[in-house]
Structure 1
């Protein structure tokens, strides 16, 4: 064997273990990342901010879901945890990812009156063409559940679909009347919707108008607001 052949053999022998180590490192790195993605769900549920921050340094998959289809951000939203929700959103978590119930961080925050998380979702790419299990936007249940500040916020968002009709045939205005309770807050919500340009004459699936529903439910003040906005029966 000449000197050139010996040198080639030596290079080959040295390179083989290095390649093996490289593959092992990649495998460990992948396992570590996968493990951290799963661990992230656990520590978010435990509200362990310090551990969350530590795990995020390894850049785990933020969209890993639990058995109910919930991402880490969805869990933080269910917990109404502003701090953790913000950390995850800043790290790139998807505010539109839906779980098995078709809730997303944006939709659930709006429906539940979690104003701060809702504001953050609007700043991190919330979409208005993704709907809840009733085919509705965040505004529709917010209008029903007397979340006045949420209604004020969403009706000021440019191009927000105020008149979107859900699977039940109701707009936010209609749901505020049909399912909403009587009282000053509900009157204020209807007033906000009307002033934001909500169509006061979109009927439900049975052809009944908002004004007809308001009269039937004895909502005198709301009925007058509708009349003042040129609502018809």
Structure 2
């Protein structure tokens, strides 16, 4: 297993110490990609590994670097509903209105994941409710389509 694979395995195993040691020995691993195109920060964020995400950001991981699908770390945590990691990413300067796959924003991902608390956090952080995806739908439109009337009202 090469060092890049070792880093991704450490992240998947929630081995913060192992991940930090690998990064200290091989600083360029901060830019590594796994077979799916995920960066270390995208993976750590998606897996709700706040400690590892903090260490990756301290080591210089790009907050808005997209993975192989076009998603940023903030988009992944918004879809998964990881409030603490989302808060940390936003506090460190993650861009809230970047567009990802199909023109989705982090707010749209929060709606798709049915995570009201993350949606509220994104709104407080400047999420633009008027942005539309490739189909011309806003986050509120997605909420209505999913039967999430309370969330749709929050977004209007």
Give the TM-score range, shorter chain: 0.7 to 0.9
Q: CA RMSD for the aligned pairs? A: 2.0
Indicate the residue corresponding to 2:137 in structure 1.
170
Indicate the residue corresponding to 1:84 in structure 2.
52
Indicate the residue corresponding to 1:74 in structure 2.
42
Equivalent runs, 1:61-140 vs 2, <5 Å: 61=28, 62-140=30-108
Q: Which runs of 4+ in 1 moved over 3 A?
A: 35-39
**How far 1:94 moved relative to its partner?**
1.4
**How far 1:167 moved relative to its partner?**
0.4
Higher normalized contact order (CA 8 Å, seq sep 6+, divided by chain length): 2
Indicate the residue corresponding to 2:121 in structure 1.
153
Structure 2 unaligned runs (5+)?
none
Question: Counterparts of 1:77 and 1:128 in 2: how far apart (Å)?
Answer: 15
Structure 1 unaligned runs (5+)?
1-34, 195-233
Instruction: Count residues in correspondence.
Output: 154
TM-score, with length taken from structure 1: 0.60
User: Is the CA contact 1:36–1:60 (under 8 Å) kept in the aligned structure 2?
Assistant: no
For residues 182-203 of structure 1, the C-alpha deviation after alignment (integer angstroms, 9 at most, x for no partner) is: xxxx333123223xxxxxxxxx
TM-score, with length taken from structure 2: 0.86
